[in-house]
Amino acid sequence: MRKFNKEGPVEAERHYCIPPLSRVNLAEILELIADRRYFVLHAPRQTGKTSILLALQDRLNADGEYRCLYVNFEGGQAAGEDTASAMQTLLADLASRSLEVLNDDLPEQTMSEYLEKYGPHAALGRTLVRWSQASRLPLVLLIDEIDTLVGDTLISVLRQLRGNYDRRPHHFPQSVILCGVRDVRDYQIYSSREGTNVRGGSAFNIKAESLRLGDFSQGEVQELLAQYTAERGQAFEAGAVDRIWALTCGQPWLVNALAYEACFSDGAGNERNRPIQVDAIDQSRESLILRRVTHLDQLATTLQEERVRRVILPMLAGSRESAWAVRDLEYVRDLGLVASDYPVRMANPIYAEVIPRELVLPLEATLAGSVDPAWYAQPDGSLDAPGLLSAFQGYFRENAESWVERYGHAEAGPQLVLHAYLQRVVNSGGRIGREYAVGRGRTDLLIEWCQAAGGGTVRIRKYVIECKVRTGKVGLDRLIREGREQTAAYMDGCGAESGHLVIFDLRPGVSWEERLFRIDAEPGQGSVTVWGL
């Protein structure tokens, strides 16, 4: 029986799946191929690109109008800028797949001779010329993982495709699709041979279109889960389906991973007569995050890129949309970290939780030896939120400067230090939810703390922490008044029992004596305490 797919291309006989070609505008793709176009299909990692290419290969070969081959160029990544070595790997994969799929014999011996005779910057082009001339039908080439190639190797591949473009369709492939995470225009390629950066758009200026693969729609998520119910006889309660959609916003890997965890992990789905409930989905989310599964762990690598940090850090601080360069925002959207429409926001709530966790992981590790979560657990098992924030004031005064400088963003840095401190404590008995009020200058944190309530039951207690930044443009009284109103409204919406407004004073030259304060709520003001930092 089938399962939800968490790795590699989908196989309909093994996986619950949405038919890959139903997720793209197939008519548009077929028209581009018929018009002899070279174009790009790009999407974030683990969204189904390879599955679509393989399905397109099968469709085109079955139709009998073209001969189509899928190739994966990731093998050339290991060679780096050793273009000769990389090209040998790419040509070998081309030969192997052409024989396997099309029964075309492209002898590796011949390709080695081409490599020796013409060099690495012409061998691929010569091979495709020879292959196209011998083919009884026009060739269509689908190149996956093109953007894993680096430096002169990537430049060489792009230029060989561009340099022979005018020979199609009888002496070169009729159509080529380049597939990767990013649009070719965003390839920033350093050429050691030329000693300069080469933009992908100039190396491959024959591109006709750039198509982006989207996430699942809400209807597709429902369809995927319904396949499980039809085969296994176990339903998802309506709230669980809605919860999967709310947490993932349709990101295909996250949808499959949450469903797999809830249905097939140890102890899950054993009682087939009971529907999968919301609690099972929330537990699955926590398990995926805490285990730092591969897909989520890859975010850490992405966050090291300066272009990504230039978008993510202001977002964490609630900056206005004008804070980002348009091209940086487009790039981060292409990576799938940020939603593709407005308002600017994280792509989904799981990423919104994982990204700050990844950013503060080094700081959180340093806190392990100096902050004991047991210090902030009350005798009744509740969280001592005031004690926690009071202790943070002392820590922030003594240690914040060096950590804030490391993050390189004046407004986001202090808030990330707070995130790390809270995470260190809350990990022991709860979780932190995060909302980024982009354009409204604030970040809302919701601590959900598990308190033992006797008889084996657990009570979830909620505490709201709202962060604001003071830069001198707005007076303190106004910040407190507006912040308290916003915090109280958030508390109302989530059923929190207390709230805390944290104001980071970033005005130059302000002393710690002025920055550090606590203002308790007065009668009639609700239970919002203000903390100055």
Give the pLDDT of residue 205: 67
Give yes or no: residues 240 and 255 share one domain: yes
Of 401, 529, 524, 376, which Cα lies nearest the Cα of 466?
Answer: 529
Q: How many residues does the chain have?
A: 533
Bond from prior residue into 343 cis (ω within 30 degrees of 0): yes
Please count the structural domains in the chain.
Answer: 3
What's the one-letter identity of residue 458?
Answer: V
Spatial separation of the C-alpha atoms in residues 75 and 425, rounded to whole Å: 43
Give yes or no: residues 224 and 205 share one domain: no
Give yes or no: residues 180 and 232 share one domain: no
Residue 223 lies in a domain: yes
User: Which residues are registered as beta bridge partners of 143?
Assistant: 71, 178
What's the one-letter identity of residue 335?
Answer: L
Give yes or no: residues 139 and 242 share one domain: no
Residue 182 lies in a domain: yes
Spatial separation of the C-alpha atoms in residues 6 and 252, rounded to whole Å: 9
Contacts (Cβ under 8 Å, ≥6 apart) of 34: none
**What tokens does 105 get?**
């014999």
Spatial separation of the C-alpha atoms in residues 314 and 441, rounded to whole Å: 10
Give yes or no: residues 198 and 241 share one domain: no
Residue 344 lies in a domain: no
Residue 106 lies in a domain: yes
Give yes or no: residues 371 and 500 share one domain: yes
Residue 186 lies in a domain: yes
Give yes or no: residues 61 and 109 share one domain: yes
Looking at 291, 312, 335, the residue that finishes a domain is 291
Give me the residues of the chain with pLDDT under 50, please: none
User: Which residues are registered as beta bridge partners of 111?
Assistant: none
pTM: 0.87
H/E stretch holding 450 reads strand 442-454
Residue 303 lies in a domain: no
Looking at 291, 306, 324, the residue that finishes a domain is 291
Residue 6 lies in a domain: no
In angstroms, the Cα distances linking 163 to 190, 203, 205 are 20, 10, 10
Q: What CATH number should be reported for the domain holding residue 74?
A: 3.40.50.300
Give yes or no: residues 194 and 166 share one domain: yes
Give yes or no: residues 46 and 136 share one domain: yes
Give the pLDDT of residue 469: 87
Spatial separation of the C-alpha atoms in residues 412 and 308, rounded to whole Å: 14
Give the pLDDT of residue 126: 93
Q: Which domain holds residue 192?
A: 19-212
Spatial separation of the C-alpha atoms in residues 216 and 221, rounded to whole Å: 6
Residue 93 lies in a domain: yes
Q: Is 350 exposed, middle or buried (0-12, 13-18, 19+ CB in 10 A)?
A: buried
Give yes or no: residues 181 and 274 share one domain: no
Looking at 291, 316, 350, the residue that finishes a domain is 291
Give the pLDDT of residue 327: 83
**What tokens does 210 get?**
């750039």
Give yes or no: residues 169 and 233 share one domain: no
Give yes or no: residues 282 and 152 share one domain: no
Q: What CATH number should be reported for the domain holding residue 286?
A: 1.10.8
Q: What is the CB neighbour count within 10 angstroms for residue 322?
A: 8
Give the pLDDT of residue 152: 86
DSSP symbols for 467-509: EEEE-SSS-HHHHHHHHHHHHHHHHHHHT-SEEEEEEEE--TT
Angle between helices 306-316 and 326-334 (to 10 degrees): 100
What's the one-letter identity of residue 178?
Answer: L
